[in-house]
Chain A
Amino acid sequence: MARDQMTPMERLTAYSKGQMIDRLPCVPIIGNTSARVIGVKVSDFRGNGKLIAKAHIESYKLFKYDIIRIFTDLYVQAEAMGAKVFYPDDETAYLEAPAIDHISKIDSIEPANPYKDGNLPHHLEAMKIAVETVGKEVPVTGAITCAFTNASFLIGAEKLARLMLTDPEKVHKLCEVSLETNLRYAKAIIDAGCTPSLTDAMSSSSVISPKQFKEFSYPYLKRLIEYIHSRGKSVTLHICGKTNKIWELMVEAGADCISIDNDADLFEAKNKVGHKVRLMGNIKPSEVMLEGTVRDVKKAVFQCVRQAYDNPKGYIVASGCSLPTETPFQNIHAMMDTVREIGYPLNEDTLNYMIYKGHFYSQDDSYYADYI
C-alpha cells in the first residue's frame, strides 16, 4: 500500500502552488466519529474542549486526513444565543427549542460572546489545543454555522420560512444578529490560530429558492467571508442538498473552496464553476461511508476522482457532508487508502489504465468485466 510522503500542510501548500504532490488531498469530514476513536461518549464532549481536541487529534493521527475540523453539531452559536439544545447520551446533539417562540420577542436576542456564552469557549479551547499540538503539520479549522441557518435555529425553521414571505425585514434582523455572532466567533477562531470553516445547511436549494438565497443568505455569507479574507485566511463553504443553481453565488460571496454533497454533481460543478473555485466532495456519507462495504467506498472514491481530479482550481476528495458518528473505521481507512493508491499526477490515460488493470471499476462493473 502506498504511504503518504508529505504532511497535509506540505501537500496542500504544494497543491495550491501547482507543485508536485504525492496524492490528492482527502477529507472524510469527521465530527462525532472522533468520539469513537478515543472511546468516549458523544455527550462527553459537552463543555470539554480538552476532550474534543484529544478526539480530533487522535482521529487525525489514525487516518491522516488533510484537514481537521472541530465540529460537534450545528447549534453551538444558536445555543450561545439562547436556543435549547438536547444532548442525548451518545448521539449528536439536536435542537430542542429555538431561542424565541414568537417573532415579537426578537429584540430579546443578543449576539453571543464567544469567550463566555454556551459551549463556544470550549470549542475555542479545542481549536487552540489542536493548533498547538498538530497545527504545524495539518490545517485546523473550526466550524461556523452561517447566519441564515443560525437564524432558523433562533426562531424555528418553519417560522423562518413563513417570515421570508410575510415579514422579510424580521428575517434580515435575525440574520443580522446571527452574522454579528458569526463575526465575533470567526475573530476568536482566527485569534486562536485556527481557520473558520463555513456551513450553511438551510441555504440549500432543497429548502429555499436561489432567489431567496440571494436575498436572505448571500449578503451575510459575503460579509462574513470578507472579514475572514481580511484576516488572510481562505474560506471553505459547505451547503448541503441541491446547490447547482447557487454555485455562482457561493463563488461570488467569496468562497475559495465549495464543499458539495451528493445531491449535487461534481462533474457539473467542475464545468460550471471549477475555473473559479476549488471543489470538495461528494462521497455519500450515509449510503456509502456508513452502510457500504470497503469495495463500495473504493468505487465511490474512484468515481469522484475521475469526475473532478482535473478541476482547474483543484479538488479535495471528501465526503458529501459530515460522516455519521458510527461510520466504520475500515471505510474511512479505505477512503484514504484509495486516494493513496490512485496517487498523483493523474490524467485520463492513467485512470483508464487503472481500470484496465482491474485496480478500479468504471461506472458499472459490466464494463470492467469486458476487460477480464
Chain B
Amino acid sequence: MSENQLFKKLSDAVVNMEEEETVILANEVVLNHYDAYKAIDQGLADGMKRAGKLFEEEEYFIPELLMCSDAMYAGLEVLKPHLKSDDIGKKHKIVIGVIKGDTHDIGKNLVKIMLEASGFEVVDLGRDVAPSDFVEKAKEVKAKIIALSTLMTTTMDGMGEVINILNQQNIRGDFKVMVGGGPISQSFADKIGADGYAANAAEAVRLAKRLVGGGD
C-alpha cells in the first residue's frame, strides 16, 4: 500500500470508530518506515477532523466522537515514538481545564481532542482546577493560549479570576484566553475581558487558530 493510501485508510478507520484497525494501520506505517508526522496529520488527525465535521452536521454525537477519539489516541500511541525530533516542539501550546468547582468535563475533553487533531499541543489540567494553577502552568510550558471551560454557572467567576491574576502579574499580553461551556456567552467573555468565546469544539479550533495568528 502506498503512503497516501495508508494515510487515507487511517483516516477512515478513525472516522469509522475502528480502534483496532487504526492500531494495525499505524503499525503498518511504522513497518514501512513511512513518515509518522504525516501519518498523524493526514491520517489520524484528518479522520478526527472529519468526525468533528460530522458532529457539526449532527450526524455524529458525543458517543461517536468519543469512540473516534479513542481510535485516534490508540494510533497516536503507536506513532508518537517514531516522530522525528524536529516534528516535536513546533506546535503552539494550549493549557486547558475545567474551572474549580466544576467536574463536568465532556465538553472540555471534546475541545481538547479537536485541538490536538488540529495540530495544537494541549496540556490538560483536568477538572476542578484553581485559577492560579492555569496561570502557573501556562507560564511553565510557555503556552500561547489558556482555554477555560465550565458547565456550571456557579463557577463562571473563576474565569474572570484567571484574567485578574494575569493582569496582576503584568503578563496578560503573553497569553490569549479563550472561554466556553454551557452558561458562557460572548457577552460574558467580553465582560471578563477574554480574547474569545467558542460555542462548541469546532468553533474552539477556529478560534484558537485565529488567536495564534493562523488561518483556518
Contact = CB atoms under 8 A, between A and B. Distances in A.
Interface stretch (A16-24, A92-100, A252-260, A347-355): A92-100
A165 to B, nearest CB: 5
A162 B63 CA distance: 6
Given A94-B103, A285-B183, A291-B191, A208 B62 contact: yes
Nearest to B19: A166
A96 B191 contact: no
A207 B200 CA distance: 12
B183 A158 contact: no
Contacts of A96: 103
Contacts of B44: none
A165 B103 contact: no
A324 B66 contact: no
Contact of B66 (A86, A91, A162): A162
Interface string B149-172: 000111110000000000000000
Given A285-B183, A287-B188, A325-B154, A157 B61 contact: no
Interface in B37-77: 58, 60-64, 66-67, 70
The secondary-structure label for the interface of chain A is mixed
Q: Give the size range of B's interface with the partner.
A: 20 to 34
B141 interface: no
A307 interface: no
B61 A205 contact: yes
Nearest to A245: B58
Contacts of A286: 153, 156, 182-185, 188
Interface residues of A, number: 28
A53 B70 CA distance: 46
Interface string A64-99: 000000000000000000000010100110111000
A164 interface: yes
Given A162-B70, A286-B183, A291-B187, A212 B154 contact: no
B22 interface: no
B119 interface: no
A103 interface: no
B109 interface: yes
Closest 4 CB pairs of A and B: A324-B153, A286-B183, A161-B63, A209-B61
Interface of A: 86, 88, 91-92, 94-96, 157-158, 161-162, 164-166, 205, 207-209, 212, 284-287, 290-291, 324-326
Given A91-B155, A205-B58, 6 more contacts: A94-B101, A162-B66, A286-B156, A286-B182, A287-B185, A324-B154
